[in-house]
Amino acid sequence: VSPEAQMKEAESSKQVKLMNERILMSTLSSKRDPYRDYKIGPEDLLEINVFEVEKLNKTVRVSSQGNISLPLLGILRVKDLTAYELEKEIRDLLAEKYLQDPHVSVFIREYRNQQVSVIGAVEKPGLYDFKGQKTVLDLLAMAGGLAGSPKENAGPSLFLIRPPRLVDRPSKEEKESDEETPKTFVIDLEQLLIEGDLTLNLPLTHGDVINIPSSGKVFIGGEVNRPGGFPLSGRKMIVGQAITM
């Protein structure tokens, strides 16, 4: 391997090391409550209290379709609501027909286990279990950070793959919803970790897959000054630029 290629690999490893430091700093400095923004889902156990009418108090488990059943109100769809949003919905429904200025609290007594897969160029790829709300940075920290060995460096992009949901399939007459098709979010790691763009630190849901491909190499041969393999290190490059390497 030429000295130039070794230098490029060293620079790439240094960049990955800096990104891993940012991952660690973000997890240590985060003041975010991992449960505050949690979206209710199937199998969660909810404790609902209406302070004005004790008979309306109930502990219910969310069905596989994302619904619960409450006295007076009947069946409510609660999937993808936060506890605060559900409190407001129940309060508004009771105030509309039954009570004046009701006070409602929703407490998530049991969280369902969630699983997210992390694959590709990380130190500890695998399947991770967690409860509450986690983000991309949380899972990167759990996976030990980005790979930065001489044999494998993390590439510039992270792919968050969200599989289609297996519940609430539409009927033949209904148009297929967004939940029925897989989605892929492409995240620029330098923009997230070096520039600190936290809008890219997406919240995760059960079944997500995080994939970080390795940084590739370009091989240059023939009548050039320095034939050999050169790490791309995430850069976009045209043929003319590659030849000058």
d(CA 231, CA 35) in angstroms, rounded, equals 41
**pLDDT for residue 131:** 83
Secondary structure element (H or E) that encloses residue 104, with its range = strand 104-110
pLDDT surpassing 90 at residue 75: yes
Instruction: Give the model's pLDDT for residue 173.
Output: 44
Tokens 């130039």 appear where? 4
Cα distance between residue 124 and residue 146, in whole Å: 9
Place of tokens 């929703």: 106
Instruction: Using the Cα atoms of residue 133, residue 136, residue 141 and residue 142 in order, give the sign of their dihedral.
Output: positive
Mean pLDDT across the stretch 43-59?
A: 93
Cα(96)–Cα(56) distance, integer angstroms: 16
CA dist., res. 219 & res. 201, Å (int): 34
Q: What is the mean pLDDT of the chain?
A: 79
CB burial of residue 99 (10 Å; 0-12, 13-18, 19+): middle
pLDDT classification of 5: cutoffs 50, 70, 90: low
Contacts of 237 (CB under 8 A, 6+ apart): 218
Contacts of 141 (CB under 8 A, 6+ apart): 23, 24, 26, 27
> What is d(CA 119, CA 213) in angstroms, rounded to the nearest whole number?
8
Residue 198 φ/ψ, nearest 5 degrees: -75, -5
What's the CA gap between 96 and 102, in Å, rounded? 10
- State the average pLDDT over residues 174-194: 77
Q: In which band, very low, low, confident or very high, does the pLDDT at 223 lie, cut at 50, 70 and 90?
A: low
pLDDT, residue 209, reads 94
| DSSP code, position 157 | E
Running DSSP on this structure, what letter comes out for residue 33? -
Output the pTM of the full model. Answer: 0.64
Q: Which of 45, 209, 193 is nearest to 131 (CA)?
A: 45
Q: How many CA atoms lie within 13 A of 106 on its CB side?
A: 25
